[in-house]
């Protein structure tokens, strides 16, 4: 009876993470992975690595949702997220061109400006 709370927590985590990632994966299935391919080429990595996004954002979330091989699926998701962070990190840190202008540069800054997101992380 004591493990019911832990089991429920793990179930909720699996459903939330699997569901969120699956939506991202389905978007990439319908719209393609050209953006990821170009980011890999800019990072001087082989473009074939872009197909790993299908494993990390379609196959692994389905396994998480089904509860099958959840640890292996979690490892695949973790690898997918490490790669995503590694590709975006250098560009997502906003920098100022000069203290007087206050212009913010970087992909993350442009995204936040377009979406109206607050400055907090």
The per-residue pLDDT for range 37-59, each reduced to its tens digit, is: 988 888 888 988 899 999 999 99
Residue 120 belongs to a domain: no
Higher per-residue pLDDT: 115 or 56: 56
Taking phi over 0 as left and psi of -120 to 50 as alpha, with beta for the rest, 52 belongs to alpha
Mean per-residue pLDDT, 21-34: 92
Are the C-beta atoms of 108 and 91 separated by less than 8 Å?
Answer: yes
Residue 18 belongs to some domain of the structure: yes
Instruction: State residue 93's pLDDT score.
Output: 55
Between β-strands 104-105 and 95-96, what pairing exists: parallel, antiparallel or unpaired? antiparallel
Say how many domains are in the chain. Answer: 1
Query: What is the 8-class DSSP label of residue 58?
Result: I
Higher pLDDT residue, 69 or 101? 69
**Is residue 107, in this structure, part of any structural domain at all?**
no
Is residue 103 assigned to a domain? no
For residues 19-32, average pLDDT: 92
Q: Which residues contact 87 (CB under 8 A, 6 or more apart)?
A: 36, 39, 40, 43
Q: Which residue has the tokens 């719209």?
A: 31
Q: Quote the pLDDT of residue 111.
A: 47
Q: How many residues does the chain have?
A: 121
Q: How far is CA 68 from CA 2, 60, 74, in A?
A: 23, 10, 11
Q: Does pTM top 0.75 for this prediction?
A: no
43 is in which domain, residue-wise? 4-92
DSSP 96: E
Report yes or no on 110 lying in a domain.
Answer: no
The answer, yes or no, to whether residue 109 has pLDDT greater than 70, is: no
Residue 17 within any structural domain of the chain = yes
Domain assignment of residue 36, yes or no: yes
Is 115 within a domain? no
Q: Which whole number is the average pLDDT over 17-21? A: 92
- Position 64 scores a pLDDT of 92
């Amino acid at each position: 009876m004591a493990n019911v709370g832990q089991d429920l927590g793990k179930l909720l985590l699996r459903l939330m993470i699997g569901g969120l990632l699956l939506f991202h994966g389905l978007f990439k299935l319908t719209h393609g992975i050209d953006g990821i391919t170009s980011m890999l080429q800019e990072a001087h990595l082989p473009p074939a690595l872009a197909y790993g996004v299908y494993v990390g954002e379609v196959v692994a979330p389905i396994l998480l949702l089904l509860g099958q091989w959840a640890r292996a699926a979690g490892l695949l998701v973790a690898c997918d997220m490490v790669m995503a962070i590694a590709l975006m990190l250098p560009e997502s840190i906003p920098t100022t061109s000069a203290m007087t202008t206050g212009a913010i540069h970087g992909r993350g800054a442009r995204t936040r400006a377009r979406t109206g997101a607050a400055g907090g992380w």
